[in-house]
Structure 1
Amino acid sequence: MMNISMLINDLDLNRGGITRVFLDRASYFADAGYNTSILSLTYKHRKEVIYEELLKQGRLSSAVKRVNLFDYFREIYTRNDDYTEEQTHISDESCEFAHLEEYDAYQHTRHFNHEGHYTTFKKWDGNGYLKNTTHFDLERRKTKTEEFDEQGILKRSRFYQVASGKVIYETYHTKDGHVYMAMDYNLDSYKLEKIFFFSITNQEVTFLNKDPLRSLQLLFFDMIAKDIGTKSIIINDSIELTNLFVKLNDEQYYKIATTHNNHFEKPYKVGSPIKKHFHNLFMNYNHLSAIVMLTETQKNHVQKEYPTVPNIYYVPNALSRVPEFNGRKKTKVIAVITRLDYQKNLQDLIYAFSNVLKKHSDATLFIYGKGSEEEKLKKLVHQLKLERNIEFCGYTNKASDILGESLFTVMTSEFEGSPMVLREAMVVGTTVISYDYLYGPSDIIKDSITGYIVEDKSVNELKKKMMYLLDNPELAKSMGEKAKQSVIANYSEDKVREQWLDLFRKVTS
């Protein structure tokens, strides 16, 4: 049975397209019977809460194994399975008085010593388990925090330099109440300086002091590989982890790096300089089994830029696992789901829509998502006096319903890799009007058949296409149906999974 590991730095609920791709791919491999694991590197206070919610929402298959670096070491260093909460809670004997405050989802207490000084804050979750504590000195400065897992068992303690408020030392605790690892930070730079491992069988201490975090990560991958027992496939979706990924043992892993974005610097066109982290990836090709592009167009561009790199392949993203849409179109509604930052270039959409309203004053634009430019965009809407017609709706996990009801959606990005929302709109029968940026639209949309590709940065052309579909809602619906048929035919899970399996056969042969 093939073993497939998928590497991610961090996993959370409210993340964008790359996370959806990652979860979908893990799920369709696992559901097809392959031993599939998610390997995550970042410490998470209560990661199981996140996984449970992902399972509940249907965004992750229960067949996928989840292995976090910190929890992996916590498990193997736990000596006694017969542990109790009382063994692992740290008592604060100096606290003689406590004030309880209760809320719907949690409760917390403020503790005071016999002299009346506020010394400790404790917070419990909705199930009554201790979640975290914070300790203060007499000047109300934080000195120590403690974090507890889902069963209320101590997981991590952090110690602070009082003057700066910076973390200077951390201890990590097993389920049976022992410290198995500690991290020591430089008192001036506050950068991680050393990692200590404490033996479970004797009193020996192991030091990691040369690039300690990287050493810890490599140790984790080495131990995972030994647990698997045979050379296995590992896929990295985060280009920021390239320097770590290429150092994994070639005897233990077939390493496949996937890219999720345009590799050019501004203005993000052919002929522009290559982004440094992409150049680093391509120049390390000999340490990788394959480098995967999401579109044929990008693959061709990279092969022209790097003609000596032999292992560049094309595998698209599969259709996201979103519920089917069974509702009806709202002919005056336009919905956009995106991240609100400079890359998405949403001011062009707002300007175009302001002109559309001169003819279709009853149309409404709903913008879903969060991001660094949210306030700037809201200010623009206010300046143009469009508050009645443009609404900012925040993050959503109901993309299929929102896009399904929309007459069409619009994409004005500066650049992309292959945006998931494009397929998510098309699969629920929603026409997409998109700027002709790199990459995605020209590979997925059949212009004037399944959507419209507009000259890049042409607000006027964008306005015309939006107005045309509002004038002709039945045409928008018809194009949306063709779009749905097109993406199902080309990007189904079965089809994309077979492309991945074909790639696996090539790299392992």
Structure 2
Amino acid sequence: MNNIYMVFFDLGLNKGGITSAVLNRSRYFYKNGYPADIVTFDYKYNSSKVVKELKKSGKMYSETKLFNMFDFFESRSLVTHSEKNQFLYDYYDHLLNESLCIVQDEKISRYFSKTTGEYLLYKKGNFETGNYVLDRFENNQRKERVYYRKNVLKRIKEYDYKNRLISERFFDELGFPFLRRNINRETGKVGKIYLLTDNKQFENSSELCSYFLSELIEDRSENIIICDGPGSFPKILAAGFTYVKKYAFIYTNHINVRNKEKNKETYILKNGDQLDGVIVLTESQKNDIIRDYNLNNVSAISNFIEIPDVVNKPNNDSKKIVGMVSRLVENKGFVYLIEVAKIVTSIYSNVSFNIYGEGEYRSRVEELIQENGLENNFKLMGYTNDPNKAISEFDCVVSTSQIEGQGLSIIEAMLQQKPVVVFNVRYGPSDFIKHEQNGILIENKYTEKMANDIIYLLENEETAKKMGKQAREDIIKQYRPEMIMQQWEKYLIYSEISLNRLN
């Protein structure tokens, strides 16, 4: 049977962006008769639980499958064994049983030699559920950290005399090792990898990932790979497929805020002639890529946009809220948002800027808030699992992002009938915002103009409501799921592959 394999590094519970886009695409593909599954490379001891939770929450379609590299080789290991590796468990059980245990609390215990008093073991975790780590010491130096999940030994990390990680071993459910990888003690990067199930050696993770893809996916023209993570692209190329159709989806601007090419995205574009197609989110980015990289296989297809019901705004007449749902990263332009907030709140002290999201730039944003005396008017609300509910609280939505691939958070706000005030940057906003009709586009970094337009919308509620209503109508018309599906079928299926429909 043919299949569509969507490849990126990892699948998590509290992830938006690419993860949400891939999960939505899988749902629509399956519903239209095209099996589309997910392929990941990361190690998670509980990947099956992640899938179960995603399906329970409705984020992941019930028929979507996850093919994880570590799970794949663990399953291969289990085929060759029928009984538990008792020797491994007996070794650590003997150390525990023959030692003197001193309990610190319900989560921590230490073990010492009964004859010499030497420190032997450190145990930490939830002992009732069997989820804990066990550190083994020699000469008061940690040699190993052993990971147990539901009392099953899953992984062992090894350390040198300076307590630097030097290797990891991974075990199947019966306690047999299936993979070992060396770690550079200076850089922490993965070195040589030994795949014990297949008696193979690899120089690095990338080689192993390529081998995994070649083992998972049959090399025939009916199969499709969509590279959804730019870091996965070299692995896909190196897998050596001759007949599999290969596409790369670029979700972001390939140019950074300093107007320089991004390494990973540029690598895709410079090797785009080795693909059946490169896909971006907007026509404007497509046209720039065709011009700058001389590629003739570039297409523009939007992410599938969920059309939610409008969530009613909570009663909060005393305070106006300007909001944003965004990762806290530098390229979202928080320096400019602080300037905007300072202007707006100097005129209306009852306005609050509420930001939902997390990221590595949080501490810097907190510093900017304090430096500008905005502690009472600029709030970091943390990550939200329900962006529509968060957006419902806003009177106006703002975006100071310096680069975009499409601007999904802006689209989500417009679907909730919120007026949006957005810097007009590449790429995205100008593709769906009609200035002063369904939103407001501001020349990039023009913070005073943005502040004035926000104030205007807060003062003129009827205009804001009319703009928000028009925004929802326009987005629904422009991003109908059936229209996006037709684009996929045109570019990937009818004209290129002639996939057989599922019965």
Compute the TM-score of the two structures, normalised by the length of structure 2: 0.89
Which of the residues 102, 105, 114 maps onto 1:101?
105
Say which SS state the counterpart of residue 377 (structure 1) adopts. Answer: helix
User: Residue 316 of structure 1 is aligned with which of 287, 297, 302?
Assistant: 302
Moved more, 407-416 or 493-502: 493-502
Note the C-alpha offset of 1:290. Answer: 0.7
Match of 1:507 among 470, 475, 496: 496
Using the TM superposition, give the Cα deviation of residue 491 of structure 1 relative to its aligned residue in structure 2, in angstroms. Answer: 1.7
- Tell whether the 8 Å contact from 1:110 to 1:121 is kept in structure 2 after alignment: yes
- Residue 235 of structure 1 aligns with which residue? 226
Note the C-alpha offset of 1:320.
Answer: 4.2
Q: Which residue of 1 aligns with 2:120?
A: 119
- Is structure 2 residue 293 aligned with structure 1 residue 301? no
Give the drift of 1:419. Answer: 2.1
Within the alignment, does 1:422 sit opposite 2:422 as a pair? no
Question: SS in structure 1 opposite 2:207?
Answer: helix
Match for 1:398 among 374, 378, 386? Answer: 386
Q: Give the letter for the 2:133 counterpart.
A: N
Residues 343 and 265 from structure 1, CA distance in 2 versus in 1: closer, same or farther, beyond 3 angstroms? closer
Deviations 1:160-217 (A, max 9, x none): 1121x22222222122221122223456666544322335xxxxx72424x3322211
Whole-Å separation in 1 of the counterparts to 2:13 and 2:309: 17
**Structure 1 residues 31 and 137, CA, compared in 2 at 3 Å: closer, same or farther?**
farther
Change beyond 3 A, Cα 1:86–1:132: farther
Q: Give the counterpart of 2:193 among 192, 195, 216.
A: 195
Report the CA distance between 1:464 and its aligned residue. 0.9
How far did residue 451 of structure 1 move?
A: 0.7
Equivalent position of 1:133 in the other structure:
134
Corresponding residue SS for 2:470: helix
SS of the residue 1:358 aligns to: helix
Q: Which residue of 2 aligns with 1:283?
A: 270
- CA distance in 2 between counterparts of 1:411 and 1:194 reads 44
Question: Please, which runs of 5 or more residues in structure 2 have no aligned partner?
Answer: 499-503
Query: Which AA in structure 1 matches 2:267?
Result: N
1:219 aligns with 2:211: yes
CA distance in 1, matches of 2:328, 2:19: 17
187 and 372 in structure 1: CA distance in 2 versus 1, 3 angstrom threshold: closer
Select between 437-446 and 49-58 the one with higher mean Cα deviation: 49-58
Q: Which residue, out of 467, 476, 490, partners 1:488?
A: 476
One-letter amino acid of the counterpart of residue 271, structure 2:
N
Residue identity matched to 1:153: V
Deviation, structure 1 residue 356: 1.2
The separation in 2 between residues aligned to 1:85 and 1:330, in whole angstroms, is 62
Q: Which amino acid aligns with 1:283?
A: K
In structure 2, the residue matched to 1:202 is none
- Answer yes or no: is the 8 Å Cα contact 1:407–1:477 preserved in 2: no
* Cα deviation, residue 244, structure 1: 1.7
Partners of 1:87 and 1:176 within 8 A in 2: no
Distance 1:63 1:434, change over 3 A: same
Secondary structure (helix, strand or coil) at the match of 1:142 reads strand
| Cα distance in 2 for residues equivalent to 1:351 and 1:326 | 30
User: TM-score of the superposition, structure 1-length normalised?
Assistant: 0.88
| 3-state SS, counterpart of residue 508 of structure 1 | coil
Q: What residue number does 1:145 align with?
A: 145
Q: Which amino acid aligns with 1:26?
A: S
Aligned to 2:165: 167
Paired residue for 1:249? Answer: 240
CA gap of 1:359–1:265, structure 2 versus 1, over 3 A, is closer
SS of 1:393 mapped into structure 2: strand
Q: Match for 1:455 among 422, 443, 455?
A: 443
Structure 2 counterparts to residues 346-425 of structure 1, below 5 A: 346-425=334-413
Q: Paired residue for 2:4?
A: 4
Q: For 1:462 and 1:496, locate their aligned partners in 2 and report how far apart those are by CA, in whole Å.
A: 32
Deviates more, 1:2-11 or 1:461-470: 2-11
Residue of structure 1 equivalent to 2:199: 206
Note the C-alpha offset of 1:311.
Answer: 0.6
Q: Is the 8 A contact 2:333 2:400 kept in 1?
A: yes
Whether contact under 8 Å (2:9, 2:41) holds in the other structure is: yes
CA distance in 2, matches of 1:137, 1:426: 61
Secondary structure of 1:406 counterpart: coil
Query: Are the structure 2 counterparts of residues 198 and 321 from structure 1 closer, same or farther at C-alpha, using a change threshold of 3 Å?
Result: farther
Q: Number of paired residues?
A: 490
Change (3 A) 1:383 1:232: same
CA 237–125 in structure 1, closer or farther in 2 if over 3 Å, else same: farther
Q: CA deviation at 1:304?
A: 1.3
Question: Residues of 2 paired with 1:267 and 1:222: CA distance?
Answer: 38
1:159 to 1:252, Cα distance in 2 relative to 1, 3 A: farther
Instruction: Compute the RMSD of aligned alpha carbons.
Output: 2.7
Change in CA separation of 1:142 and 1:337 when aligned onto 2, cut-off 3 Å: farther
Cα separation, 2, equivalents of 1:345 and 1:39? 33
Identity value in percent = 26
2:79 counterpart SS class: coil
Other-structure match for 1:177:
175
Counterpart-to-counterpart distance in 1, 2:339 and 2:88 = 58
Aligned to 2:465: 477
Aligned partner of residue 327 in structure 2, secondary structure:
coil
| CA shift for structure 1 position 466 | 0.5
Q: CA deviation at 1:327?
A: 4.1
User: Is 1:47–2:36 an aligned residue pair?
Assistant: no
What code does the residue aligned with 2:304 have? A
After TM superposition, give the deviation of residue 294 of structure 1 in Å.
Answer: 0.3
Amino acid at match of 1:318: F
The Cα of 1:443 is off from its aligned counterpart by 0.6
Could you tell which deviates more after superposition, 43-52 or 424-433? 43-52
What secondary structure is seen at the aligned counterpart in 2 of 1:195? strand
Distance in 2 separating the partners of 1:250 and 1:95: 54
Deviation at 1:30, TM superposition (A): 2.9
CA distance in 2, matches of 1:111, 1:299: 62
